[in-house]
Structure 1
Amino acid sequence: MATVEIRPLTTAEAQSAAGLLGRGMRDNPTHIKTFGTDPVRRERTLRRIFTPFLERQLSDGRVLGAFADQRLVGVAALAAPGGCQPTLTDKRRALPALLANGPTRALRMLAWTRVWARRDAGMPPHWHLGPLAVAPAWQGQGIGSWLLGRLCDHLDRQRGLGYLETDLPENVRLYRRFGFESLASEPVIGVTHWFMQREAGG
């Protein structure tokens, strides 16, 4: 396996990071349910949605990249307290990508994100973990765990509460290894989502 370096991403790397997130999260159950069965369309849509969000997170949060031989193979983001929900500007920039998939799919994403926003609003001040993804060819090699470990180190230094959502059971098991506990699960547009938190100090 190539040597993997983990470092903060720069604003200039936002589009590359968004592209990796699109590839790495393309086959998540919620994305299939929302954006349809065409994997190329799902990947393109996710890339366009993630780009503005990442650009903002890079300026006021913490976004790490994992590099193998200088090639980006993983991305993990941690939004600072108060900065985890998309801004109006984020939503405006993402709107063309949503509408390109048709009104039904746009409404599905609206229903999904409303659930997330409602649960997020009920939380005390927290650091919001996500998105996190590893390039498909590099999955299963520990890169996601390395990225997650670095973000949890940051939480510990800040003595901060961590919070996340996931629709993958295997991710629930991974996050539990790093001190996250399930607060609740809920069907969201027909897909089970888990909502998890990590107490300050892990």
Structure 2
Amino acid sequence: MRDNPTHIRAFGADPVRRERTLRRIFTPFLQRQLEGGRILGAFAGPRLVGVAALAAPGGCQPTLADRGRALPVLLANGPVSALRMRAWVRVWARRDAGMPTHWHLGPLAVAPEWQGQGVGSRLLSQLCDHLDRQRGLGYLETDLPENVRLYRRFGFETLASEPVIGVTHWFMQRQPDG
């Protein structure tokens, strides 16, 4: 995810800085998802090569505590980065608020050297199985056209697309199967 267009736009050109920023933002969010959502990891021996998560209904928006922890991280990247992240989160929150009760997919990420080898598909398949067992509506956002194609293979349909901080985002949902 470090090299996703939105992350480059929001956090700048330095890949080390982007990765550090994403780790600091996602770690508390994923810890919270462990409580009520679902997180899967793909491993090659002891190495984590992929991760996929679902936030349970009502658990996908950042809490006040999440925002408080993220603010110093964002400000460390400068005010432009913080303002871009604010604009980005506002669009996502507006779209999310219009969805009925749903399971929110994200993040789904695979180490670059493992992409294209089925890791993401296996993780996504397991998440979709969980959605089906729960009879849950799945929802996600992506900024990569190749991800749109991947998600469509698993039954996600594009609801809308719009620019977010200058990068096109697709908003997708999946009805439970069966």
Instruction: Give the TM-score taking structure 1 as reference length.
Output: 0.87
Moved over 4 A (4+): none
Partner of 1:166: 142
Partner of 1:105: 81
When structure 1 is superposed on structure 2, of 65-74 and 186-195 the one drifting more is 65-74
Task: Select the residue among 49, 52, 69 that pairs with 2:45.
Answer: 69
Task: Select the residue among 143, 147, 150 that pairs with 2:126.
Answer: 150
Partner of 1:194: 170
Contact 1:79/1:127 (<8 A) preserved: yes
In 2, Cα distance between the equivalents of 1:52 and 1:94? 9
The alpha-carbon deviation at position 165 of structure 1 amounts to 0.2
When structure 1 is superposed on structure 2, of 189-198 and 134-143 the one drifting more is 134-143
Q: Secondary structure at the match of 1:152?
A: helix
Partner of 1:11: none
When structure 1 is superposed on structure 2, of 133-142 and 185-194 the one drifting more is 133-142
Q: Can you list the C-alpha shifts for 1:99-152, whole angstroms capped at 9, x where unaligned?
A: 100111100000001000000000000000000101112111110000000000
In 1, Cα distance between the equivalents of 2:87 and 2:160? 18
Q: Secondary structure at the match of 1:89?
A: helix
Q: Secondary structure at the match of 2:16?
A: helix
Contact 1:133/1:144 (<8 A) preserved: yes
Is residue 58 from structure 1 mapped to residue 31 from structure 2 by the alignment? no
The alpha-carbon deviation at position 70 of structure 1 amounts to 2.4
In 2, Cα distance between the equivalents of 1:156 and 1:70? 30
Q: Secondary structure at the match of 1:170?
A: helix
In 2, Cα distance between the equivalents of 1:155 and 1:55? 20
Q: Mark the runs of 5 or more structure 2 residues left unpaired by the alignment.
A: none
Task: Select the residue among 114, 120, 138 that pairs with 1:138.
Answer: 114
**Could you tell me the percent identity over the aligned residues?**
85
Number of corresponding residues = 178
The alpha-carbon deviation at position 43 of structure 1 amounts to 0.6
**RMSD over aligned Cα atoms:** 0.8
In 2, Cα distance between the equivalents of 1:107 and 1:88? 17
In 1, Cα distance between the equivalents of 2:136 and 2:177? 7
Partner of 2:97: 121
Instruction: Give the TM-score taking structure 2 as reference length.
Output: 0.98
Task: Select the residue among 60, 81, 92 that pairs with 2:68.
Answer: 92
